Amino acid sequence: MSSHGPARFERATERDLDELAALSHETADELRRMRERLASGDWGILGRVDGAVGFYGWSMFGEMEIGDRLAPLRDELVYSYKLFTSPALRGRKVASSYYSFLARELGQRPSVRRIVATVAASNAPSIALHLRSGFTHFGSILELRGAGVRAAFPDADVKTLFR
């Protein structure tokens, strides 16, 4: 097993996006979306281990992605999404360290009081990460698609997230 130093996190800039996209083999279309996200005010956070980018995560203010739609999010919440850790660093608590970094950064924005994230019910490693990082299960969001119909069915607790 190779030894790695701790992850060092920083906010991504436009010049970092090619490196982030290459890390996870993103398509040209996803790279374009990353540029749009950064330009719209989303935070891209990258994690470097031994000088190389090995992690990224995104934070969205004012909105939350549900499927291919955006839902308006209450102002005191930030939506954490699209976390990616390089396979060589998985299991080394890089993503957990990211949430500690993000909480410190958000401490400079007193209007933000909570971080919310969506995790697929089938993604056991991500669920474990979020629980270890202090998240609690808040509710479920279900989306129905088909025949031109799209509807979200949040439970009573989840409704309190949205404006």
Record the tokens describing residue 102, joined without a space. Answer: 């993000």
Provide the pairing of β-strand 114-117 with 77-85.
parallel
Per residue in 119-146, pLDDT (tens digit) is 888 888 888 889 988 888 877 665 555 5
Please give the pLDDT value at position 9. Answer: 95
Residue with tokens 């190389």: 52
CA atoms within 13 A on the CB side of 63: 12
Domain ranges of the chain: 8-138
Sign of the C-alpha dihedral, residues 57, 112, 137, 160? negative
Contacts of 138 (CB under 8 A, 6+ apart): 116, 157, 158, 161
Q: What mean pLDDT value characterizes the chain?
A: 83
Domain 8-138: what homologous superfamily?
Answer: Gcn5-related N-acetyltransferase (GNAT) (3.40.630.30)
